[in-house]
Structure 1
Amino acid sequence: MSFNWQGVFPALTTKFTQDEVLDLSTFQHNLKAQLEAGVDGVIIGGSLGEASTLTNPEKEQLVKCAVEQLENKVPVVLNIAEGATKEAVRRAEEAVAWGASGLMVLPPMRYKADERETTEYFRAIAQATDLPIMIYNNPFDYKIEVTIGMFDELLQLSSVQAVKESTRDVSNVTRLRNHFGDRLKILCGVDTLAMEELLMGADGWVAGLVCAFPRETVAIYRLVKAGRLEEARRIYRWFLPLLELDLHPKLVQYIKLAEVHTGIGSEHVRLPRLPLVGEERSRVEKIITDGLAARPELPDYLSL
């Protein structure tokens, strides 16, 4: 499937049973809600998807399940987060066999590679596959920044097409657009900066709270792109306290709890993560329930 890196791409949570086994039934239920809300693709096995705890056979199950459920209506993107280049290349090759339509790729894990090492890592993956690639640029969490100079080299490879822009610097959207024009598609990777980056010309949004609130997320994106900014601002201002749940080390637990409250997920996580308890749980639950109590009525955004 060919596709453009445009629109809303949920970084899906991975659904587990209480015994930490993949819960494909709940995963499919959430996928159905995402598709009906109008998302433009889904991402499997990202940080929000607890990738570091997933086995390779589990990643295969999730990709194949999503491909079958979505029936080529939107692309399925596999996240690659490996420590060794050979393993990353192997994941890229396997992704094709599993039916994935694209890749999101993090820099090397567990080692702070320099610019040359990071570029060669990405190059090896890109040369191993024809699947379109989005580079995940998140120096805040992963301590490696993919600079404009590195993108200059990487964009010589036709499969490198997009960036998940998570530097938390809104001006970087303009910086990238000034330098690369439309050659590099830009997708905001920070929920609390999404509308700001879309207004500055970002092509899409790799979203987290979309896992619990898919319709509101897609509505904001489509309203912004249609120039209906006051309507988008109204929803975004309501959404912000919820979007801030994406900025915490426990974003997985926070967002999964939100999925429970909206009826499209469970809060089961895989150890060493633990479910929320005590004051922290009460505080997060209040943010969610307050948001639901004031949940805005949405315009007919799907017709835009």
Structure 2
Amino acid sequence: MKVQWQGVMPAVTTKFSPDDTLDLKMFRVNIEAQLNAGVHGIILGGTLGEASTLTDEEKRILIQETVKIVAGKVPVIINIAEQSTHDALVAVQRAKEYGANGLMMLPPMRYKATDRETVVYFKTIAKSTDLPIMIYNNPIDYKIEVTLDMLQEMMACDNIEAVKESTRDISNVTRIRNRFGNRVKVLCGVDTLALESMLMGADGWVAGLVCAFPAETVAIYELVKAGRTKEAIAIYRWFLPLLELDISPQLVQNIKLAESSTGIGTEIVRAPRLPLEGTERKRVLGIIGESLKTRPGLPPYKDFTQGT
């Protein structure tokens, strides 16, 4: 399946059982909720997927299970966030064998690579595979910025097709579009800037709170693409207190608690992460509870004819 790099792509959480094994039953419940809402792809093993805690065998199971659940309806993307080029090359090869349709790639982790090291890393991986790649540009959290000049160098690799834009600089959407036109697809990677990014021309949204509120997330995207901006803004204003749970070091705990509250997940995280407790847990539950009380009705967004 060809990846279009547009629409809403949930960065799904990994579901765990109390005994710290994969909870594939609840994982299926959530993926099916995403599909029913009309998402345009599934991204596995990102920050929300607690990728750094997953074994290679667990990644295999998650990819193959997701491919089975989606049954060709949407592409399956796996995040590559390895510590070495060798390990990344192995992970990419396995991802293709397991049935992934595309890759989301972080720069090398744990230390701040130079611009040259980062570009060579991405190009080396891209040349090793025919899977399409979305570069994850998140200098706030991962301390490495993929600049436009670096991205220009990567354009020698035809399968580097998209950028997950998480710089928090809304103008970067326009900068990328001005520099590369439609050669590079742009997906917003920050929930609290998603509507603004799409209004500035972003092609889609790699979303977090979609894990708990899939229909509302897809509705915003479809409304924007249909030119019904006023309706999209109304839902987005209701959504913002929830979306702000995504821009926190405890985003995994926050979003899993929201998933649990909407019945399509649990709040179980893998150590060293711990569930929220005390005042912070009460605060987050208050935000979720108030949002559920005021949850808006949605228009028949699946019926909209999207623009190109």
TM-score of the superposed pair, with normalisation by structure 2: 0.98
**Residue type of the alignment partner of 1:251:** L
2:218 aligned partner, one-letter code: V
Tell me the equivalent position of 2:81.
81
Task: Please state how far the C-alpha of 1:3 moved relative to its aligned partner.
Answer: 2.4
Unaligned runs of 5+ in 1: none
Query: CA offset at residue 103 of structure 1?
Result: 0.2
Match of 1:15, SS state, is: coil
Q: Residue type of the partner of 1:236?
A: Y
Partner of 2:278: 278
What amino acid does structure 1 have at the position aligned with 2:66? Answer: A
- 1:154 is aligned to 154
8 Å CA contact 1:137, 1:166 repeated in 2: yes
Question: How much has 1:276 moved relative to structure 2?
Answer: 1.0
How far apart are the structure 2 equivalents of 1:125 and 1:93?
Answer: 10
The answer to whether the 8 Å contact 1:83/1:111 transfers is no
1:25 matched to 2:20:
no
> Which residue number corresponds to residue 169 of structure 1?
169
8 A Cα contact 1:163 1:184, kept in partner: yes
What SS is found at the alignment partner of 1:230? helix
Match of 2:100 in 1: 100
**Secondary structure in 1 aligned to 2:131?**
coil
Letter in 2 for 1:61: I
Once the two structures are superposed, residues 67-117 of structure 1 have per-residue CA deviations (whole angstroms, 9 ceiling, x without a partner) of: 001001000000000110010111111111000000000000112100000
Distance 1:20 1:13 in 2: 14
Q: Is the 8 A contact 1:75 1:101 kept in 2?
A: yes
Shift of 1:156: 1.3
SS, match of residue 123 in structure 1: helix
2:126 aligned with 1:126: yes
Is the 1:38–1:302 Cα contact (8 Å) retained in structure 2? yes
Tell me the percent identity.
Answer: 64
Matched, 1:201 2:201: yes
Q: CA deviation at 1:18?
A: 1.0
**In the alignment, residue 188 of structure 1 is paired with which amino acid?**
C
Q: What do you get for the CA RMSD once the two structures are aligned?
A: 0.5
The 5 A counterparts of 1:178-257 are 178-257=178-257
Partner-residue secondary structure (3-state), 1:19? coil
Q: Do the aligned partners of 1:77 and 1:103 also contact (CA within 8 Å) in 2?
A: yes
Aligned to 2:298: 298
**1:255-297 superposed Cα distances (whole Å, 9 cap, x missing partner):** 0000011000000000001111111110000000000000000
Give the whole-Å Cα distance in 1 for the aligned partners of 2:275 and 2:3.
Answer: 37
- Partners of 2:55 and 2:119 in 1: CA distance: 26
Give the distance between the partners of 2:155 and 2:59, measured in 1 at CA: 28
Q: Are residue 47 (structure 1) and residue 47 (structure 2) matched?
A: yes
Contact kept, 8 Å, 1:190 with 1:207, in 2: the verdict is yes
Letter aligned with residue 257 of structure 1: L
> Is the Cα contact below 8 Å between 1:18 and 1:268 reproduced in 2?
yes
Aligned counterparts of 2:155 and 2:217: Cα–Cα separation in 1: 29
Q: Report the residue type matching 2:62 in the other structure.
A: L
Cα distance in 2, alignment partners of residues 128 and 266 from structure 1: 37
Give the aligned partner of residue 62 of structure 2: 62
Query: Within 2, Cα distance between the matches of 1:302 and 1:111?
Result: 44
- Output the CA distance in 2 between the equivalents of 1:195 and 1:21: 36
**TM-score, with structure 1 as normaliser:** 0.99
CA distances 1:118-171 after superposition (whole Å, capped 9, x unpaired): 001001110111000000000000000000011111111011000000000000
SS of residue matched to 2:161? strand
Displacement, 1:2? 1.0
Partner secondary structure for residue 187 of structure 1? strand
Give 4+ residue runs of structure 1 displaced > 4 Å after superposition.
Answer: none
**CA–CA separation in structure 2 for the residues paired with 1:249 and 1:2:** 33
Give the total of aligned pairs: 304
